[in-house]
Amino acid sequence: MTTAYQTIRVRFQEPVCFIQFYRPEDNNTINDLLLTECTQALRQYQDVATVFVLEGLPEVFCFGADFKAATGDGEKLGPEPLYDLWMQLATGPFISVAHVRGKTNAGGIGFVAACDIVIADDSAQFSLSELLFGLLPACVMPFLVRRIGFQKAQYLTLMTRPVSVQQAHAWGLVDAFDSQSDALLRTHLLRLRYLSRQGIQRYKRLMHALYDLSQSRSLAIDANREVFSDRDNLQRIERYVKTGLFPWESEP
């Protein structure tokens, strides 16, 4: 069961499948290929794995959408595959665990909020920067509100600045953190190995019925399409890609 991937690294240690985002040259940002490969990996291993662990790099977990891909030419998949991937993490017949180190921004928060358990090290930071460019974390919000509540999700969105792992833990975005997060993750996985596949499936089915994320899908996708089709927003993104300047900054 080996597949060559370009944007992720996958290893299976029964009953745990580890999926590592691996785009070091692009700050572990999300492009269409990463979405496709993550979806393929989940499908490939979900019949043999009871736990999936998402990991990034030591400095960055996932920094959101790849703006270079967003402003480039060519056909794009759109927001549906991203929302559906997060839906699979949230409702699939397995336990999903995010192991977060370093920076997490924008769509990276979506991966975190979609997972059943979030483990972090003390370097972890969490931010939603979309409104700085006139965008919205539209697809993130149903998962984030489910996890930390309306007002905390709103504050994180409106302030656009990173919060520390300590604050994220107090809000419930992070379940446990430690300076030695690898050891903390191993401790959790040793316990999660005891859970039966049938028990996990029944539990996830119940939780999905209690909070049905599919009800927010069309609203979130429509909002995402609206902001990414706005010409002014696309100009702000393109300028940032070319110059590294935020919309309110003047060119020297």
pLDDT per residue, tens digit, the chain (252 aa), is 557 899 999 999 999 999 999 999 999 999 999 999 999 999 999 999 999 999 999 999 999 999 988 766 655 778 999 999 999 999 999 999 999 999 999 999 999 999 999 999 999 999 999 999 999 999 999 999 999 999 999 999 999 999 999 999 999 999 999 999 999 999 999 999 999 999 999 999 999 999 999 999 999 999 999 999 999 999 999 999 999 999 999 887
66 is catalytic: yes
Distance CA 216, CA 181 (A): 33
Exactly one of 130, 222, 249, 251 is catalytic; name it.
130
pLDDT of residue 75: 58
Rg (CA), the chain: 18
pLDDT of residue 73: 60
pLDDT of residue 74: 54
Q: Which residues, in sequence order, are CB contacts of 24 under 8 Å at separation 6+?
A: 57
pLDDT of residue 252: 77
Strand partners, 55: 20, 99
In terms of Cβ atoms closer than 10 Å to its own Cβ (0-12, 13-18, 19+), residue 63 is: buried
CB 28 within 8 A of CB 62: yes
CA distances from 49 to 8, 14, 20, 22, 235 (A): 17, 7, 16, 21, 43
Distance CA 51, CA 192 (A): 8
Exactly one of 37, 66, 116, 121 is catalytic; name it.
66
55 is catalytic: no
pLDDT of residue 163: 97
